[in-house]
Amino acid sequence: MPAPDAMIPQRELLARPVRREAVGAALRAARIAAGLNKQQAAAASGLSRHSLMRLEAGTGSLNLDRLWSLARAYRTTPSAILAAAEADEAAAETLRP
């Protein structure tokens, strides 16, 4: 079970939307590169279209199982999706001490 937000440092809470937007953009780019629309991607990954839309918008939280399912559906790897998100300058800044 995840820690309550009150237990998470403020810096991490502020980083969440930045990171989620970067991952969302990476997911959207991977879906488009795979030639899939949102409905096809949802069917291929086992996620609902609504969940996929939230992830791509940066408003949903992505767990490892979902990441692997999406990577398989997009014919890529989880590390490629994360590398694309890390390439986002604002997201990369959240990794700095």
Nearest to 78 by CA among 27, 11, 17, 9: 27
pLDDT band of 58, cuts 50, 70, 90: very high
pLDDT of residue 78: 98
What angle, 0 to 180 degrees and rounded to 10, lies between the N-to-C axes of helices 10-33 and 49-57?
Answer: 120
Mean pLDDT of 66-72: 98
Return the CA Rg of the chain.
14
Flag whether pLDDT at 2 surpasses 70: no
Please report which confidence band the pLDDT of residue 4 belongs to, taking 50, 70 and 90 as the band edges.
Answer: confident
* % of the chain with per-residue pLDDT over 70: 97
For 24-48, the pLDDT digits (tens) are 999 999 999 999 999 999 999 999 9
Question: For the residues of 12-30, what is the DSSP string, one character each?
Answer: HHHHHHHHHHHHHHHHHHH
SS3 of 36, please?
coil
Nearest partner of 27 among 65, 96, 93, 77, judged by Cα = 77
